[in-house]
């Protein structure tokens, strides 16, 4: 299934949704149209039960996403109002991706700057080419971070390292990003895409509902007490045990067989 968009290539291969930011001549920078299309695609991924894992990457060899398209923002006129509209759509998409059952893999195929770095933050799993680089870039233009950057990244790498990235605009290599905890895995450029598809395929065959509940547990834990969190864990694990996949998983474990999860 292929849905047509102006700034994004979107396709569903079996149970895997592949989202490719498609403005390679502008280093896949984010403009108002891309933000709006990301929001539309996030709803498609959330409501299409066929989709059980998602890959977000960039078209071309140079960039994953070089951040916001400042030229288009400036030319829009009232830049403050325009940025409110862009971030409204972008943040809506991020919220939807963060809350849905299907796991999101952000696959960084080149430069990840500004919003591109933010995408790494809200990913469920983040992987990169060995040649990819990472930079905050916001303060270079006298701007503050957006795209959930200030929410996820300090929790992932720590406040001091995050402030170092934002204030100094330090450029990280893939190996440095891996060491900082920004990435789960780095692959050599030659095998990057095949490894990305393999990971997405493995996840697409997993217990999708349990993945979603786990994501909600993790998000809730960021602002929860121990007792409240454990109460939610009780609720989630009891609900999971009553799903089709939960019952299959338990039976397969007892029989020492591999479960055939269906995402139900």
Asked if residue 214 and residue 179 are part of one domain, the reply reads no
Residue 264 lies in a domain: no
Residue 77 has a pLDDT of 83
Residue 216 lies in a domain: yes
Asked if residue 23 and residue 102 are part of one domain, the reply reads yes
Q: What is the mean pLDDT of residues 36-42?
A: 98
Asked if residue 236 and residue 145 are part of one domain, the reply reads no
Residue 90 lies in a domain: yes
Q: Tens digit of pLDDT for each residue in 164-192?
A: 999 999 999 999 999 999 999 999 999 99
Report how far residue 253's alpha carbon sits from residue 29's, in angstroms, rounded to the nearest whole number.
46
Overall domain count for the chain:
2
Q: What are phi and psi of 3, to 5 degrees?
A: -105, 140
For 154-167, b where at least 16 C-beta lie within 10 A, e where not — what string? bebbeeebbeebbe
Asked if residue 168 and residue 75 are part of one domain, the reply reads yes
Residue 2 has a pLDDT of 67
* Alpha-helix runs per DSSP H in 18-158: 32-47, 70-75, 79-99, 115-122, 149-157
CATH number at residue 16: 3.90.226.10
Asked if residue 135 and residue 220 are part of one domain, the reply reads no
Asked if residue 118 and residue 74 are part of one domain, the reply reads yes
Q: Tens digit of pLDDT for each residue in 51-104?
A: 999 999 999 989 999 999 888 988 888 889 999 999 999 999 999 999 999 999
Angle subtended by helix axes 79-99 and 208-221, to nearest 10: 120
Asked if residue 180 and residue 104 are part of one domain, the reply reads yes
Asked if residue 115 and residue 217 are part of one domain, the reply reads no
Domain carrying residue 248: 208-255
Q: Tens digit of pLDDT for each residue in 121-161?
A: 999 999 999 999 999 999 999 999 999 999 999 999 999 99
Report how far residue 28's alpha carbon sits from residue 173's, in angstroms, rounded to the nearest whole number.
19
Asked if residue 151 and residue 87 are part of one domain, the reply reads yes
3-state secondary structure of 190: coil
Asked if residue 247 and residue 214 are part of one domain, the reply reads yes
Asked if residue 16 and residue 40 are part of one domain, the reply reads yes
Does the pTM surpass 0.75? The reply is yes
Q: What are phi and psi of 37, to 5 degrees?
A: -70, -35
């Amino acid at each position: 299934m292929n849905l047509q968009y102006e700034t994004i290539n979107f396709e569903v291969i079996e149970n895997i949704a592949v989202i490719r930011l498609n403005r390679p001549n502008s280093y896949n920078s984010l403009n108002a149209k891309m933000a709006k299309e990301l929001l539309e695609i996030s709803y498609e991924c959330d409501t299409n039960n066929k989709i059980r894992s998602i890959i977000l990457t960039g078209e071309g060899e140079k960039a994953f996403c070089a951040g916001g398209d400042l030229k288009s923002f400036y030319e829009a006129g009232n830049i403050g109002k325009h940025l409110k509209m862009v971030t409204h759509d972008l943040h809506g998409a991020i919220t939807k991706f963060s809350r849905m059952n299907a796991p999101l893999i952000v696959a960084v195929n080149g430069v990840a700057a500004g919003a591109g770095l933010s995408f790494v933050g809200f990913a469920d799993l983040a992987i990169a080419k060995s040649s990819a680089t990472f930079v905050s870039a916001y303060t270079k233009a006298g701007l503050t971070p957006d795209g959930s950057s200030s929410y996820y990244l300090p929790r992932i790498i720590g406040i001091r390292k995050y402030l170092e990235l934002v204030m100094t605009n330090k450029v990280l290599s893939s190996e440095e990003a891996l060491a900082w905890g920004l990435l789960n895995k780095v692959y050599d450029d030659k095998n990057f895409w095949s490894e990305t598809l393999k990971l997405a395929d493995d996840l697409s065959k997993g217990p999708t509902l349990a993945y979603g509940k786990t994501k909600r547990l993790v998000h809730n834990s960021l602002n929860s007490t121990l007792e409240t969190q454990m109460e939610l864990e009780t609720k989630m694990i009891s609900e999971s045990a009553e799903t089709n996949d939960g019952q299959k998983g338990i039976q397969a474990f007892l029989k020492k067989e591999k479960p055939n999860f269906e995402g139900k």
